[in-house]
Amino acid sequence: MTLGRRLAAEFLGTAWLVIGGCGTAILAGDVVGWVGVSFAFGLTVVTMAYAIGHVSGCHLNPAVSLGLFVAKRFDGKDLLPYMAAQVGGAIAGAGLLALIVKTGHQGADLGGFAANGYGALSPKKYELVAALVTEIVMTFFFLFVILGATSSKAPAGFAPLAIGLALVLIHLISIPVTNTSVNPARSISQALFAGGDYLTQVWLFLVGPAIGGALAGVAYPAIAGRE
């Protein structure tokens, strides 16, 4: 598969992640609540994994690409192009959501736009250290599940379900803390449209997932062995 096709798949897949997950939070969060939003994020990964997993690997997340690279499951020369496609896709998805919100109601305000935050911007007002620890730990276990579920030794065909359900669980745990990132592309896209303090806090949602993903990339092979 050519790099161009793989990048196109990552772009569209990450856009779908934002449209499905953040879109549910923005457009239907008052109806489905945090549980519904958690399942929406999981469903985006499950559906897209079956759609493009055979094309690009369905990373949809710079922290996932980084973790796979550290675990020697992903070619380093493709790391930055994948990350760029993921961020671009996330911004495109957020842009479509902003268009829907702005044209749907006269004088509509984007508000927090499902962006991530800590302190005053945390759903339950968790402070910086709690938010950073949460993002590192949640991303670590997300990558740990991904590396295990996609191993050649794992049962074939079930990886998308395991990964999607892991993302549901991660959101159920951490929405109250940070509104759940574990994905720098998703955080960047929403912060760009929410603006203000969300932009000044977005660094945490780049650093935390990167650390968690890299740690899992070291830990999983150390425990399970390299492919």
Block mean pLDDT (10 aa), the chain, length 227: 96 98 96 98 98 97 98 97 98 97 80 95 98 98 97 89 98 98 98 97 98 98 88
Q: Which pLDDT belongs to residue 225? A: 84
pLDDT at 155: 84
Tell the CATH topology of 3-224: Glycerol uptake facilitator protein (1.20.1080)
Structure token digits, residue 102:
């702005």
For residue 161, CA distances in Å to 103, 157, 165, 180, 195 come to 35, 9, 6, 20, 34
Residue 213 CB-density burial (10 A; 0-12 exposed, 13-18 middle, 19+ buried) = buried
Amino acid at 34: W
CB 68, CB 214: distance < 8 Å? no
d(CA 78, CA 58): 14
Give residue limits of the domains in the chain: 3-224
Whether the CB-CB separation of 62 and 83 falls below 8 Å is answered with: yes
This model's pTM is above 0.85:
yes
Q: pLDDT value at position 113?
A: 96
Q: At what angle do helices 62-70 and 204-224 cross, to 10 degrees?
A: 30
Q: Distance between CA atoms of 165 and 171, rounded to whole angstroms?
A: 10
The number of beta carbons lying within 10 Å of the beta carbon of residue 162 is: 18
C-alpha–C-alpha distance, residues 159 and 151, integer Å = 9
